[in-house]
A and B are shown apart, each in its own frame.
Chain A
């Protein structure tokens, strides 16, 4: 991979959409009690940006992603994709979940074809499915069933299933959380490569500080539940990034401090 200059790394191709989160609050009703999860979160994400959401476990990161995906409506506030209000799910905003959630009754090819099939355009667009499978390097597994795949392969299929729709915003909900550390490192660079190639806006939820710093060019640190934005940190480093980079190490220390874990440093 060619090392890009810092200037190149922050200019984005125009494929990605702008995402605008404005004064969003959300809560759940559990056993009659109201549990606030998001408290007046505002965030403007430029087209093609790679934003990581970091926060303590259970702080509402995933809820924010569900709102972005349109799977739920916020109790207050507005979310907009390219000036259009988000009112429901749309294939331009695809989510990759922590579990690959492949459909076990469908082969790899049929799983990847899911989005095009659901939108009724599969018949004319079959080549896109093949392309997406090639993109994640699983061409020889297109007829395999999910139970025949390893965890990393399954997550690659999930990634292909998302990318086949040419999303403007790719929403990643701890997609590498359950993978072993080697597969994880390999897939981190794959995700960066795909993002650089395709130029979609990326929103990544993770609780791995290092992962956030290696992947994103902006890290949002959230507070405990109900989540508020605690810090908005720009990571001005070209890709591919090195885990041992002292600049990243310094940021990591700072972020762990924000999360109340400075003692572990």
Chain B
């Protein structure tokens, strides 16, 4: 034990000093490599002729070279740039990898067509989608966000209230629990055919399905959260003069919140799946519909472009949820950082 702590103490300062020294040469080196990788990407766009007909090759190449220049200045000016300089320094290894990957992608598709062409579009054709098909893409994003948000908020609210009532009231549990067991485990997409003809519009049907997919995990986890609150908390609150409403709102719910957030997270995941399927099958708007539409036209670049947007949106939604949780649950130790 003592040898461990001694070697630990002796070893700890040494790498620290070494890191600061190597940081100077190392981070400049990595920054330089990042700049070179992006320069390579830009030059690869401009140097060889395209094997197909893409209008954005030159802009992409120039854009990449501009990025390379920014990375270069950022790297050597990092000390004067403060926060952004530090951020760049941290991300430099990723910039190297991305630059190299883009170069490879460019060369393998647009320049030498090593990958079969219509299925693997080059970067410039995806850029082309973002510039030329922007209005349609934005409309789809807006439609998806609106549908998802509406369904998710309804599902999460109903799930939360249901979960609290089952966890709190035996009578509510008696009636709701069997229904929950019967309906809950069914994948929400199984309701698709019924939902689409029984609801007045495909939008309301999809909202219902998203709410259903969200509601089940939120209900179950809120319920288990409320049910697992230690009775000692209630005893304390009661001896201090708490009424039942206080016990629910100020004891049961805050104590259950960590569980609730797990439910909200799971609900978000399953509702994304329902959203995309619903848009592909019934709704005539949204990113799922855009994907389907692009497939119909064999517009593979549009599909990749939409997939990237979709992934950014889903990841953004989860980030938002985790930020909210971190803010509300600061009192918890060791929460996972997303």
**Least Cβ–Cβ distance between A197 and chain B, in angstroms:** 21
Contact A93 B257 (CB under 8 A): no
A265 contacts which chain B residues (CB < 8 A)? none
CB-CB nearest in chain A for B332: A104
Contact B240 A104 (CB under 8 A): no
B230 contacts which chain A residues (CB < 8 A)? 101
CB-CB nearest in chain B for A147: B333
Contact A89 B331 (CB under 8 A): no
Q: How far is the CA of A165 from the CA of B250 in the complex (A)?
A: 18
A146 contacts which chain B residues (CB < 8 A)? 331
B54 contacts which chain A residues (CB < 8 A)? none
**Least Cβ–Cβ distance between B229 and chain A, in angstroms:** 10
Q: How far is the CA of A31 from the CA of B230 in the complex (A)?
A: 22
Q: How far is the CA of A114 from the CA of B238 in the complex (A)?
A: 10
Known A-B contacts A105-B254, A105-B257; A91 and B331 likewise in contact (beta carbons under 8 Å): no
Contact A119 B241 (CB under 8 A): yes
Contact B240 A161 (CB under 8 A): yes
Q: Does B233 contact A (CB under 8 A)?
A: yes
Contact A118 B331 (CB under 8 A): no
Interface residues of A in 97-116 (CB under 8 A from B): 97, 99, 101, 103-107, 114-115
Contact B241 A89 (CB under 8 A): yes
Interface size class, chain A: 20 to 34
Interface size class, chain B: 20 to 34
Known A-B contacts A91-B240, A91-B241, A105-B254; A118 and B235 likewise in contact (beta carbons under 8 Å): no
Q: How far is the CA of A147 from the CA of B330 in the complex (A)?
A: 11
Q: Does B327 contact A (CB under 8 A)?
A: no
Interface residues of A in 106-160 (CB under 8 A from B): 106-107, 114-115, 117-119, 145-147
A165 contacts which chain B residues (CB < 8 A)? 240-241
A103 contacts which chain B residues (CB < 8 A)? 233, 236, 251, 254-255
Contact B236 A118 (CB under 8 A): no
Q: How far is the CA of A118 from the CA of B241 in the complex (A)?
A: 6
CB-CB nearest in chain B for A146: B331
Q: Does B320 contact A (CB under 8 A)?
A: no
A75 contacts which chain B residues (CB < 8 A)? none
Q: Does A52 contact B (CB under 8 A)?
A: no
Q: How far is the CA of A107 from the CA of B330 in the complex (A)?
A: 10
A105 contacts which chain B residues (CB < 8 A)? 254-255, 257, 329, 331
Interface residues of B in 17-51 (CB under 8 A from A): none
CB-CB nearest in chain B for A100: B236
Instruction: Give the contacting residue for B239; candidates A71, A99, A117, A147; CB below 8 A.
Output: A71
Q: Does B69 contact A (CB under 8 A)?
A: no
CB-CB nearest in chain B for A93: B239
Q: How far is the CA of A104 from the CA of B255 in the complex (A)?
A: 8
Q: Does B337 contact A (CB under 8 A)?
A: no
Contact B243 A118 (CB under 8 A): yes
Q: Does A95 contact B (CB under 8 A)?
A: yes
Interface residues of A in 60-88 (CB under 8 A from B): 69-71
Q: Does B242 contact A (CB under 8 A)?
A: yes
Q: How far is the CA of A169 from the CA of B97 in the complex (A)?
A: 69
Can you sample 8 A-B contacts with CB below 8 Å?
A91-B240, A94-B240, A95-B236, A101-B235, A117-B250, A118-B242, A119-B240, A161-B240
> What are the 8 closest A-B residue pairs judged by CB atoms, nearest first?
A115-B240, A91-B241, A118-B242, A89-B238, A119-B241, A105-B254, A145-B331, A101-B232
Given A69-B239, A105-B255; 11 other pairs, CB 8 A cutoff: A89-B238, A95-B239, A101-B235, A103-B254, A105-B331, A118-B241, A118-B246, A118-B250, A119-B241, A145-B330, A147-B331
User: Interface of A with B (CB < 8 Å)?
Assistant: 69-71, 89-91, 93-95, 97, 99, 101, 103-107, 114-115, 117-119, 145-147, 161, 165
